[in-house]
Structure 1
Amino acid sequence: MSTQRLNGRTAFLKLLQDEGVTHVFGNPGTTELALMEAMSDAASIKYVLGLQESVVLSMADGFARASGQLTACNLHCTPGLGHAMGALYNARFSGSPIIVTAGQYELGYGLLEPMLYEPLVPIAQPLVKWAYEIQRVEDLPRVVRRAAKVALTPPFGPVFLSLPGSILDDEADLSLGHRTRVLAHGSPTDHDLDDVVRAVVQSRSPVIIAGRELAEQDAFEEAQTLAEMLGAPVYHEPIPYNTRYPVCHRAFMGDLTRNQKKVHETLGQHDLLIVLGADLLRMSAYNETDPMPNDLLVIHISEREWELGKNYPTDFAIRGSVKTILNSLLPRVDVGLTIEQRTDAQERLELMSKRNWTACRSQFLSSSSLSTNVPIAPGFLAQAIAESVQKNAIVVEEAPTLAPLLSSVLEVNEPRNFLGLASGGLGFGMGGAVGAALARPGTPIVAIIGDGSAMYAIQALWTAAHLDLPITYVIANNRSYRIIKERLVAMRGTDRFLGMDFTKPQLDFVSMATGMGVTARTVDDPSSLREALKSAIASGKPSLIDVVIDPGVQKA
């Protein structure tokens, strides 16, 4: 292999470019100076400045989720990595292929325990697929190539590299090599597939849980074909990673929810559960009711082997690409179904069409009487958003109280046009919208963010304004952590709301937004809501609408 004389900082950026990285999201500090010096010469990589490290990593997460491509972010030593840990936790669950780096002091200098120093690898290790601190500049090509390979090998996920300053400044004759991609689309043996098909065709009442991997692998068509063959209702998995399944398909019944009792009742009506690229019933708060009915036959297909049989006995646990495996299963299932079974499947589909997601949405929209409520009713806000968002827009959602209402009316059918909260920890949405806008230039982004959620990462507004991105931030402002209030009443039987209100003083989102260069307005009149939403989205500019909504449960 040919070699060239390079310093570490230049080699690192050349390697990123060759791996397909187009953006580095960062917040620089002293330990990153060598990298920032070289960044100006990396013409094909755009440096995106964020004003706090959690925002930076959320931007990278949003970019990776909206594009499905490798990206990178650079943090500032130990405090920077610490700031970003919540966002890294979210990226872990969303399966985002990100090369996360942090500047580190020169090798050996850490012995003196200077300011900002701690070993970085042990901090990052629990939340990434691989973590390593580079020890020699000669190892840089091997390390970066491995990092990209690991991040992009299914299941995708973030990796972490600690970059000592001495490595970035050292020079050596380096061979940069070339990239490696692991093809992981294998299929089970014919014998195993035959066993699965036998279980499928013997079922009289199958149900499907559609998961994030369907969207990530562009497998909607295959999943819809299976649902129609079997006459099986389809539910979104409980975690809103992405679109998961087209909401307008006639077999789609809605979100499964994270209410254990309701999930148990829903699944208990069936004799076969087919899980396609989803977690198997990942829930939230504890409930004594187990969501999984006893004796329900389970077929689970996922590229994430850890999820297979993790919490519940699984009769057929199949590791691999859900798209590839469905393409192997579908012709076998088609051959195995009798005429009577096909007729039964069509009859079930006809019955479903009267109570599926589309039917329920139509009923809600036609019967809604919330348009005059002041403060604005959350259901009316969800309805107005659903009617204002263009079909090609990307929706980023981080509004916990509004989310169930939004999922019942928002029409999203494209795989990467919805990004929700993957981990449950707040802080993704504000920065994630910036990353999504950069991943899909020219696409309108509508970010629906709770007032509490927005304050975790409000600095993202500056980057949106700085880059003049077409993002409309819709703040669902109930002046509180409403979801915590509701859970306190429901789970603890008390309305003593300590530390849950933002009223003394109230948060002024318009001033915060305009102070960072984003056009903003408050809407508290339901009659002006639709016009405000449509105007902001159509502008193609960064904007914020502070929507004053009903605060909900109050003290008695």
Structure 2
Amino acid sequence: MRTVRDATFDVFRRFGMTTIFANPGSTEIAFLTGLPDDLRFVLALHEGSVVGIATGHATATGRPALVNLHTTAGLGNAVGALATARTNRVPLVVVVGQQDRRHLVYRPFLAGDLAGLAGDYPVWVNQPARAQDVPSAIARAWHEAVDGRGPALVIVPSDDWAEPADDAPIAAPARLHRGTAADPATLAELADLVGGASSPALVVGADADDPETWAALVALAERLDAPVWQESFAARAGFPQDHPLFAGHLPAGRARLREALGGHDVVLAVGAPVFRQYPYEQGPFVNPGTTVALVTDDVEDAHHSPVQFAVVAGPAAVCVALAERVTARSATTPAPTRPAPPRPPTDGEPLRASHVMAALAERVAADTVVVEETPSSRPDLHRLLPARAPLGFLSAAMGGLGFALPAAIGVRMAEPRRPVVAVVGDGSSLYGIQALWSAAHYGCGVLFVVLANGRYAVMDRLAEQHGAGKAPWPAFEEVSISTLAEGLGCPATRVGTHDELLAVLDEVVPTLGERTEPLVLEVAVVPDTTFAP
């Protein structure tokens, strides 16, 4: 007898979802035991790590990843990571286990009110009315995740898997073509706006992070001789950050934002919302007289961005068309002054995060994926370790912690020959530390650089800026990340001097393309004393 489970596995194969990222529970036994050989199971020890690894994998492949979560506890533990996937615009198909359908009416042990548990972060949630509708729900979830650019949830009672499948066709297209180009009239209007500007500027975001859009943006920026800013708190880099026209990362407060974009009469944002903020400040985003336009393939961004003109279409196609339509300008924009690397510490001088970033920048290959989660040291990373290739930078646009360790593992699983380095604060690492077991068990040769200052440094700086008295949280200098890593089966070492740091990096970095053993490099650094979002 062909079962609902058999039919669902065929849907997985049709849509290329042959790896299942999971932390299983009893409601998933019927689904997961006796998997066919062509379906791969990847275990993580916490649901946040499950979703984080899947998010990294889907980010690197550009296709939805398949996640399995265990009823209320599993979905509840994963909500923060699902929120990050939604904000990072990463498609996931999430199968959530539920108690046996036949006695849900009696509220049995492990039954959950699952449909609303993750709030508004899923782009679609469905519990099929019949067991036989599960395969169609999974197929639709794939399309919903792609179009909604986030996690789509399907809730499946445990007894559904063994039910007989019917011969009804799958209620979702096998292929769906999406248009990407703007119409000629819209392109002409946008070209007139940008091409007619006396001093245009570009702002790029995570949705511009692909080879075609990078190339199109480089051509457009060079033709306009326009500086290019990266949106603040971006999940990914939207432009080569070693290009002479790259101006830096936009500040996240309105006063400094107006200063950064001052002097430009037209600002064109591409693949970025307008504008990501952090501290609340009064006043407009830009000075009077500055027109802001937006090109995005995300309708949600277009709806909430305060711009004079928004175009919903593929950024690459639009930028290629704009570069062909605008008149080339003479190159008069001076290249920004690049910061000099910090002076190496003298004997007895402690290491700082900037020393670590500079040492990495001197050694990592241009195609290295840097996954960041070090809030107090993020400005140093942006300043010293630029993204030089698409997918060269990855972070959690949501701002919640626990993303970088599992995401780096997922990227490496998807790109097994691409160097991957995670740069993480010690406080941040504790929110996803369980992921290190998966890295070791599945042979993911990621270099995890943990900046250990024994405290939540960014919180300390924010508390000082607030000026309302001493913060109540203590330091945690007794925590040893390298010891925790080794306890999870992941090789680790701790360094405290510049010479030790350089020696380990010189040994490990050249092997990152082919190594199958992860390494946690815990680097003792003194806390940063400033923080400017």
Q: Distance in 1 between matches of 2:383 and 2:527?
A: 20
| Equivalent residue number for residue 360 of structure 1 | 338
Q: Distance in 1 between matches of 2:116 and 2:448?
A: 36
CA contact (8 A) 2:353 2:528 kept: no
Q: Distance in 2 between matches of 1:527 and 1:398?
A: 24
- The SS at the match of 1:391 is coil
Return the match for 1:187 from 181, 191, 195: 181
| Equivalent residue number for residue 416 of structure 2 | 441
Scaled by the length of structure 1, the TM-score of the pair is 0.90
Return the match for 2:434 from 450, 459, 467: 459
Percentage of matched positions with identical amino acids? 28
CA contact (8 A) 2:86 2:150 kept: yes
| Equivalent residue number for residue 501 of structure 2 | 529
Say if 2:451 is the partner of 1:476.
yes
How far 1:217 moved relative to its partner?
6.6
How far 1:142 moved relative to its partner?
2.0
CA contact (8 A) 1:66 1:417 kept: no
RMSD: 2.0
Q: Distance in 1 between matches of 2:111 and 2:288?
A: 52
Return the match for 1:545 from 496, 504, 521: 521
| Equivalent residue number for residue 74 of structure 1 | 68
Say if 2:300 is the partner of 1:315.
no
Q: Distance in 1 between matches of 2:40 and 2:165?
A: 26
| Equivalent residue number for residue 483 of structure 2 | 511
Taking the TM superposition and a 5 Å limit, the aligned residue runs for 1:366-445 are 368-370=343-345, 372=347, 374-445=349-420
1:48-78 Cα offsets, whole Å, 9 max, x none, are 0000111101110010112212211101100
Scaled by the length of structure 2, the TM-score of the pair is 0.94
Say if 2:164 is the partner of 1:171.
yes
**Letter of the aligned partner of 1:252 in structure 2?**
F
- The SS at the match of 2:470 is coil
Gaps of 5+ in 2: none
Say if 2:217 is the partner of 1:223.
yes
1:223-250 Cα offsets, whole Å, 9 max, x none, are 0111111111001111231121111211
Q: Distance in 2 between matches of 1:18 and 1:192?
A: 37
**Letter of the aligned partner of 1:518 in structure 2?**
C
Q: Distance in 2 between matches of 1:27 and 1:56?
A: 7
Equivalences, count: 525
CA contact (8 A) 1:446 1:473 kept: yes
Q: Distance in 2 between matches of 1:10 and 1:123?
A: 28
How far 1:480 moved relative to its partner?
0.5
CA contact (8 A) 1:124 1:131 kept: no
| Equivalent residue number for residue 467 of structure 2 | 493
1:333-378 Cα offsets, whole Å, 9 max, x none, are 24xx6xxxx23xx112xx2x2x2xxx414xx12x635465633112
Say if 2:2 is the partner of 1:6.
yes
| Equivalent residue number for residue 196 of structure 2 | 202
How far 1:108 moved relative to its partner?
4.3
| Equivalent residue number for residue 12 of structure 2 | 16
**Letter of the aligned partner of 1:458 in structure 2?**
I
- The SS at the match of 1:283 is coil
CA contact (8 A) 2:59 2:411 kept: yes
Say if 2:77 is the partner of 1:83.
yes
Q: Distance in 2 between matches of 1:71 and 1:124?
A: 18
How far 1:494 moved relative to its partner?
4.4
**Letter of the aligned partner of 2:500 in structure 1?**
S
Return the match for 1:265 from 228, 248, 259: 259
| Equivalent residue number for residue 295 of structure 2 | 301
**Which stretch has the larger CA shift, 76-85 or 535-544?**
535-544
CA contact (8 A) 1:53 1:80 kept: yes
Say if 2:51 is the partner of 1:57.
yes
Q: Distance in 1 between matches of 2:529 and 2:392?
A: 32
- The SS at the match of 2:126 is strand
How far 1:184 moved relative to its partner?
2.7
| Equivalent residue number for residue 31 of structure 1 | 27
Q: Distance in 2 between matches of 1:553 and 1:200?
A: 41
| Equivalent residue number for residue 159 of structure 1 | 152
How far 1:311 moved relative to its partner?
4.2
- The 3 A distance-change label for structure 1 pair 500 and 532 is same
CA contact (8 A) 2:203 2:270 kept: yes
- The SS at the match of 1:295 is coil
How far 1:12 moved relative to its partner?
1.6
- The SS at the match of 1:123 is coil
How far 1:86 moved relative to its partner?
0.4
How far 1:295 moved relative to its partner?
3.3
| Equivalent residue number for residue 124 of structure 1 | 118
Q: Distance in 2 between matches of 1:553 and 1:232?
A: 34
CA contact (8 A) 1:451 1:479 kept: yes
Q: Distance in 2 between matches of 1:10 and 1:449?
A: 41
- The 3 A distance-change label for structure 1 pair 191 and 393 is closer
Q: Distance in 2 between matches of 1:221 and 1:508?
A: 43
- The SS at the match of 2:449 is strand
**Letter of the aligned partner of 1:499 in structure 2?**
W
**Letter of the aligned partner of 2:332 in structure 1?**
E
Q: Distance in 2 between matches of 1:83 and 1:273?
A: 40
